[in-house]
A and B are shown apart, each in its own frame.
Chain A
Amino acid sequence: MEQTLVAEAKDAPRTADLAFDRLYRSSRDDVYAYVASLLRDAPAAEEVTAAAFERAYRKRNRFDPERGEPRAWLFGIARNAALDELRRRSRQAELAAEPADLESFGSAESAEHSERRLAVSAALERLEPGERELIALKYFAGLANSEIAHVLGISESNAGTKLHRAMTKLREACHEYA
């Protein structure tokens, strides 16, 4: 009996593995969305997303819950991976935004919706990369302001202020398109 329990305990996934599995399942698409918005290159985004998860998995035992939320930690890793990729390629300035996929907006949606989203997409392109990143972290990845602050290494209030400015700028850009 005792032997069985010991064997089960050995075979049971470790707590860190379980926690990471949960984190992966809840963050996979969010990380991809954030990285893709930074890189604006789908194949590269896939590569970097996979690399970020791999790196996080290797470091999972070093994660300290006292230093922040797991999602903030994961997005920090993803951000570094994406920025390293941008540095490596030196394509940040040259990269043209991928054209918005009109079909992806859905044929069922009204023309007004499609037109509006095209305008938002174009307005996003006019934002500074840092502003685009803030919006991606907030609305693509769904991070809270405190998590954004942790990822960017700034204070929470500063993150909120910057996000507000970015949204204001985006709204203005949309207005110009309208």
Chain B
Amino acid sequence: MNTPRDDQLIADLRALRPAPRPQFAAKLDERAAAGFPRRSRLPRISLAVPRISPRRLLLPAGGLAILAIAITTAVVAFQEDNNGEVHLSMAGASRDPVPAMQQERATGATQASGAAESVEDASAGIELNFSAARLRQRHVERSAQLVLAAEPGDVAEDSRKVFEAVHAHDGIVMRSSTRQGAPGDAGARFELLIPTAKLGDALAALSAIDEVRFRHESTADITAPTANVSELLQDSKARIDSLLGQLEAAESESEREAVESELRQERRHRALLRSELQHLQRRAELSRVTLRIETGAAGESSGSGTWGVDDALGDAGHILTIAAAVTLIGLAVLAPIALIALLAWLTHRAWVRRERRRVLS
């Protein structure tokens, strides 16, 4: 036999071409006509991991993501509300004092014995008052906002009653302003300091003056800074006592001058601490109350306390901020995972390509 010519060789090669069995070809044609339905060629994989198209997964995955964001948002919002501040709000309340006022006496607020003036008088021996037992007491700063609805003709009379109620509870009117005029224009505004021990009664009395449109009470625990300043004050006193002892024992003029200088410095420090402690104590003993008397419909005045479009926008913005923060945190967690997954995928792909080349070499 001779070496085949090129055309002969090509013809022979084509004759050697493997041909599919007719049965296989027919079956494949059927599958092609049916749009290649999936076969369970790998039953173990099919059973273990059901093949679901990504589009079908999109909806439940999106739902899960929204649910996760909603839960996280709720948790964050709940934590924010409980982080140092407690809000008690009531919009459109009736004239009657709310029973919740009765609870405020049990909140553990520092019991103040007198009005603001008495606070100043007590400052001299203030550091001595903070015994260990007192440090364990909670120091809570309280504040309240009250909006009363009144007829324009009643504004002056209501304002007078406000002054009476404040004085009756040993409070102080820090600032006040009254406007006369048409409904919506007429009104009054008061900034009050009320002894915390009498805040409940005072609010009840103020609420009884006219129709309560809005009331908001909040508390903030200032025990930690109060205790901290008190301890510093005690340390300072001990330091001063020690310096006084050193001064008595000083033998030379220069030694005495050095101790006196240190003593002056420490006394200045002590005065600052005392002032700070007085301020904290005043915050605990005197509650700040903002009272407004409004005329006209509830929606006419801004910040009337009713929940409106502005509030809705504010709430929406707050929720979006939290959602964005949650998403950012989620991305911060997912990004490294995605990067690792990408690297793993690229490595796997390179390895598969190398193996495919190797299998034919």
Contact = CB atoms under 8 A, between A and B. Distances in A.
Interface in A19-44: 21, 24, 28-29, 32-33, 36-37, 42
B133 interface: no
Interface stretch (B11-19, B262-270, B290-298): B11-19
A28 B16 contact: no
A85 B39 CA distance: 17
Contact of A116 (B12, B39, B359): B12
Contacts of A119: 1
Contacts of B56: none
B266 to A, nearest CB: 80
Nearest to B13: A139
Contacts of A115: 1
Contacts of A42: 18, 21
B359 A87 contact: yes
Contact of B356 (A50, A51, A83, A175): A83
Interface of B: 1-4, 6, 8-10, 12-21, 24-25, 28-29, 31-32, 35-36, 38-39, 41, 352, 355-356, 359-361
Contacts of B17: 33, 139-140
Interface stretch (A3-11, A62-70, A127-135, A143-151): A127-135
A78 interface: no
A139 B13 CA distance: 7
A46 B32 contact: no
11 contacts: A24-B32, A32-B19, A46-B24, A53-B36, A58-B36, A83-B359, A83-B360, A117-B16, A119-B1, A174-B9, A178-B2
Contacts, number: 107
Contacts of B1: 112, 115-116, 119, 177-178
Q: Tell me the dominant secondary structure on chain B's binding face.
A: helix
Interface of A: 17, 21, 24, 28-29, 32-33, 36-37, 42, 45-47, 49-51, 53-54, 57-58, 80, 83-84, 86-87, 92, 100, 105, 112, 115-117, 119-121, 124, 129-130, 133, 135, 139-140, 167, 170-171, 174-175, 177-178
B59 to A, nearest CB: 21
Interface centre among B3, B352, B356, B359, by most chain A C-beta atoms within 10 angstroms, is B359
5 nearest interchain CB pairs?
A36-B18, A83-B356, A139-B13, A175-B3, A32-B20
B107 to A, nearest CB: 67
A83 B353 CA distance: 10
Contact of B360 (A21, A47, A120, A129): A129
Contacts of A37: 18
Given A24-B32, A29-B25, A140-B17, 6 more contacts: A37-B18, A46-B24, A53-B28, A140-B13, A140-B18, A178-B1
